[in-house]
Amino acid sequence: MRVLVTGSSGWLGQALVPQLKAAGHAVTGLDLLPSPMTDVVGSITDAGLVGVTLRERGIEAVIHAATLHKPHVATRSAADFVAVNVQGTLNLLHAATAPGSPVERFVFTSTTSLMISAEIRAGRAGGAMRAAWLTEAMTDLRPRNIYGVTKLAAEHLCRLHHELFGLPIVVLRTSRFFPEADDMAHTIAQSDANTKANELLFRRLTVEDAAAAHLAALECAPALGFDTFIVSAPTPFTPDDCAELIGDAPTVVARYFPDYPDIYARLGWSMFASIDRVYDASKATRGLGFTCRTGFATLLARLARQTR
């Protein structure tokens, strides 16, 4: 297929474009920043550029990964988030559904961040102090920042364009894969590598797995019509663990991974005292046939070999 990847110079784009090419797709990268992955330098906020790119390059599928994301909240205005995440998405959807458009499928990179309200972040899930068990069935979405609000608005635009025009669209709510350091207070005692390892238990995936999920969504889109999937490393936890996770996460982790305390001790690492949410990515396994290759178990096995 002839595939347009927006955000091709970004962290995800740099992993996604090579995977698409290796799978035999003809890829056009579009990004504000030039890079070896980018063929068209420009912004998705430029509706004219978006339309010309899709038409002239005969684009059959769009993977819309360009975004302002969580780390930009501190440095960019709310208007910037609306322009890129909402208007930019609308420009792509308009071009993809224009008369005569060759676009047959559309994959949108969304975020699990839009599922996190202030109450969930505080650990008050369901009115009690417990970790939130988060699935695609969650309907009471109250994002706590402009990033989440604009990504939720973009998801609604995707749904609307599927309903109006029949364009197959898959929305991927990816958990964390960005390389920047965490901004959470509980990471003060942890190194960045330690933090990211811990997060693989409940809220992170590798960028390589994020890219692979997009290829799976691209293949499944026509059969799905419209659907939304959480994409995150598989969690070992169950909903029954949520009450204990909020108050004593290390004990819960040790039940599933009895060797982790010794491995972490050799590294000088520690587990989060509390885990406030768990993303359940099992629907992606069922609906996309996709499961992340790297999770906490695979990482722990690697660390065990390195610290012997």
Of 122-136, 160-174, 229-243, the poorest mean pLDDT is in: 122-136
Q: What percent of the chain has pLDDT over 70?
A: 97
28 near 50, Cβ under 8 Å? no
User: Residue range 259-264: average pLDDT?
Assistant: 97
Q: Residue 187: pLDDT above 90?
A: no
Q: Residue 32: pLDDT above 70?
A: yes
User: Residue range 199-227: average pLDDT?
Assistant: 98
Q: Residue 185: pLDDT above 50?
A: no
Cα separation, 273 vs 236, in Å, equals: 17
Cα separation, 53 vs 236, in Å, equals: 43
Q: Which CATH number goes with the domain that contains 35? A: 3.40.50.720
Of 107-116, 186-195, 222-231, the poorest mean pLDDT is in: 186-195
User: Residue range 206-229: average pLDDT?
Assistant: 98
Query: What range defines the domain where residue 244 resides?
Result: 2-306
Count each helix (H run) and each strand (E run) in the chain, helices first.
12, 9
pTM (predicted TM-score): 0.95
Cα separation, 25 vs 66, in Å, equals: 19
Q: Sheet containing 169-174: which strands, arranged edge to edge?
A: 40-41, 26-31, 2-6, 61-64, 105-111, 169-174, 226-231
Query: At 72, phi and psi to the nearest 5?
Result: -80, -10
Reported as a single tens digit per residue, the pLDDT across 114-135 is 999 888 888 887 777 899 999 9
37 near 9, Cβ under 8 Å? yes
Output the pLDDT for position 257: 98
Q: Find residue 230's DSSP bridge partners.
A: 173
Cα separation, 164 vs 160, in Å, equals: 6
Q: Tell me how many domains the chain contains.
A: 1
Element (H, E) at 85: none
